[in-house]
């Protein structure tokens, strides 16, 4: 591999040079350390809000996700996700790419992160991949950035404590970004069914985010009740958080998508998603199942519980997307007397938007390795 800086912009020259277009068969590779170094030059929350705003304006595309599950020899659940996305701002520079993120539930027991993979960005003219990057760190960071943006627009106006249920990779990514985005956050209540993981995260916080005072909660219920901002980053596939656990004025970032029980959605003051179709097409997750069963309605559709004549009680409705809030198209409802839920399915357009910002930083810094395909 050659250093990127040795031939700065050779890829760009392929389509910007003297009217003569040439297809190059090399691409820039960024390992995790390089991705992290370049991401330090980038405002991840701003890049996230940029992509969400374009999503609300219809300037994005996300083909159906590829999903391939299997079971490994140890009985662990494995899956491969292939997520294509494009942000195509009118009159602006388009960004297109794919994230391939695979996971095995048995990886943490091997001392490895559950999920990992690579992302690619595509050249506008030749369609060739121009960048390949380690995907795990940025994938977690983009999910955390979404939570930070949602909290800014939809969270309580005043808060200084946060609860995190599930203390793995995503939890750490959230707390890493929290310190930079919300300096008023003073304490973090941690809960994990594996006490060692909660203890490890508390120790990590002491070393990396000393301004955040960690407290390990004795139960999920105690953690949920301890703060007005609750982030779920578990791996459950069966809900365990009822509405009764949520204090008035609570904002829930339901990142892991299956923790809240149906009554938490049905009684919510407001529900926001990243993309209505993505959520609705996945009934394996709580909100997807509620939309399928007509117990929660998609925005603008107001089915009623009961019979087809429209008799019966109105069902709660998803308010819309965070992008629509950012674009000023719908109202931002913050938690007041009840709770507000943010339920992001996870969008490839955020992965590609953030990766492009990292790519530009890598080109400026001369970071990365050139890989020659042939
Ligand atoms: P991880 O395996 O690193 O961490 C999950 C942690 O949750 C583990 O420490 C585990 O012990 C704990 N846990 C499991 N069940 C629990 C329970 N009932 N109560 C408390 N703790 C529990 O996983 P990760 O990589 O951090 O991912 C966390 C979740 O985030 C996954 O479900 C993943 O699918 C989801 N995710 C969502 C998005 C999104 O955009 N919505 C994006 C990426 C990941």
pLDDT digits (tens, 9 = 90+) for 132-166: 999 999 999 999 999 999 999 999 999 999 999 99
Model pLDDT, residue 117: 98
Check pLDDT > 50 for residue 10. no
Tell me: pLDDT of 92 over 50. yes
**pLDDT (0 to 100) of residue 2:** 43
Give me the residues paired with residue 129 across strands: 122
Is the minimum distance from the CB of 359 to ligand 1 under 6 angstroms?
A: no
pLDDT for residue 269 is more than 90? yes
Whether 3 has a pLDDT exceeding 90, the answer reads no
Distance separating alpha carbons of residues 261 and 238, to the nearest angstrom? 8
Please write the tens of the pLDDT for every residue from 234-251: 999 999 999 999 999 999
Atom of ligand 1 nearest to the CA of 171: 26
Average pLDDT, integer, range 5-28: 61
Ligand 1 and 205: CB distance under 6 A: no
Q: pLDDT at residue 301 above 90?
A: no
The percent of residues in the chain predicted with pLDDT above 70, rounded, is 91
Quote the pLDDT of residue 148: 98
Question: How confident is the model at residue 307, as a pLDDT?
Answer: 45
**pLDDT tens, 36-77?**
999 999 999 999 999 999 999 999 999 999 999 999 999 999
What is this structure's pTM?
0.93
Please tell me the distance between residue 370's alpha carbon and the centre of ligand 1 in angstroms. Answer: 34
pLDDT band at 303 (very low <50, low <70, confident <90, very high): low
12 CA distance to ligand 1 centroid (A)? 39
Which residue is closest in CA terms to ligand 1's atom 36? 256
Is ligand 1 within 6 A of the CB of residue 197? yes
pLDDT for residue 189 is more than 60 = yes
How far is it, in rounded angstroms, from Cα 334 to Cα 110?
Answer: 41
Q: For position 7, what pLDDT does the model report?
A: 43
Q: What is the mean pLDDT of residues 167-182?
A: 95
Which among 249, 178, 260 is positioned nearest to 220, based on CA atoms? 260
The stretch 174-194 carries a mean pLDDT of 95
Distance 167 CA to ligand 1 centre (A): 7
> pLDDT value at position 6?
44
Specify the pLDDT at position 18.
57
Q: Alpha-carbon distance 368 to 374, whole Å?
A: 18
Reported as a single tens digit per residue, the pLDDT across 304-363 is: 555 444 556 679 999 999 999 999 999 999 999 999 999 999 999 999 999 999 999 999
Say if ligand 1 is within 6 A of residue 60 CB: no
Q: Is 145 in the pocket of ligand 1 (CB under 6 A)?
A: no
What pLDDT is recorded for position 230?
98
pLDDT at 13: 41
Q: 217: CA distance to ligand 1 center in Å?
A: 17
Tell me how far apart the alpha carbons of residues 201 and 216 are, in angstroms, rounded to a whole number: 10
Q: Is the CB of 193 under 6 A from ligand 1?
A: yes
Q: What is the pLDDT of residue 111?
A: 92
């Amino acid at each position: 591999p050659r250093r990127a800086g040795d031939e700065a912009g050779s890829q760009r020259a392929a389509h910007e040079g003297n009217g003569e277009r040439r297809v190059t068969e090399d691409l820039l590779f960024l390992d995790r350390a390089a991705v992290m170094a370049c991401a330090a030059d980038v405002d991840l929350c701003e890049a996230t809000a940029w992509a969400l705003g374009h999503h609300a304006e219809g300037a994005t595309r996300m083909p159906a996700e590829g999903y391939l599950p299997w079971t490994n020899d140890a009985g662990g659940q494995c899956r491969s996700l292939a997520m294509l996305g494009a942000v195509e701002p009118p009159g602006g520079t388009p960004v297109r790419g794919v994230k391939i993120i695979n996971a095995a539930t048995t990886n943490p027991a091997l001392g490895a992160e559950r999920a990992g993979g690579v992302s690619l960005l595509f050249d506008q003219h030749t369609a060739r991949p121009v960048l390949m990057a380690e995907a795990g760190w940025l994938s977690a960071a983009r999910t955390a950035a979404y939570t930070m943006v949602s909290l800014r627009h939809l969270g309580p106006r005043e808060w200084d404590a946060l609860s995190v249920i599930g203390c793995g990779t995503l939890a750490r990514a959230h707390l890493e970004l929290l310190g930079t985005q919300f300096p008023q956050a003073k304490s973090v209540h941690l809960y994990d069914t594996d006490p060692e993981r909660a203890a490890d995260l508390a120790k990590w916080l002491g070393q990396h985010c000393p301004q955040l005072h960690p407290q390990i909660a004795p139960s999920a219920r105690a953690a949920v009740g301890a703060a007005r901002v609750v982030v779920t980053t578990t791996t459950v596939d069966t809900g365990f958080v009822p509405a009764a656990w949520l204090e008035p004025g609570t904002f829930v970032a339901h990142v892991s998508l299956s923790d809240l029980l149906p009554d938490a959605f049905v009684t919510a003051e407001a529900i926001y998603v990243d993309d209505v179709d993505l959520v609705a097409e996945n009934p394996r997750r709580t909100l997807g199942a509620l939309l399928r069963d007509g117990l929660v309605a998609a925005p603008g559709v107001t089915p009623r519980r009961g019979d087809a004549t429209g008799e019966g009680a109105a069902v709660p409705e998803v308010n819309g997307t965070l992008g629509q809030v950012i674009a000023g198209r719908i109202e931002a409802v913050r938690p007041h007397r009840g709770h507000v839920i943010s339920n992001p399915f996870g969008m490839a357009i955020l992965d590609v938007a953030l990766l492009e910002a990292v790519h530009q930083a890598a080109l400026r810094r001369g970071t990365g390795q050139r890989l020659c395909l042939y």
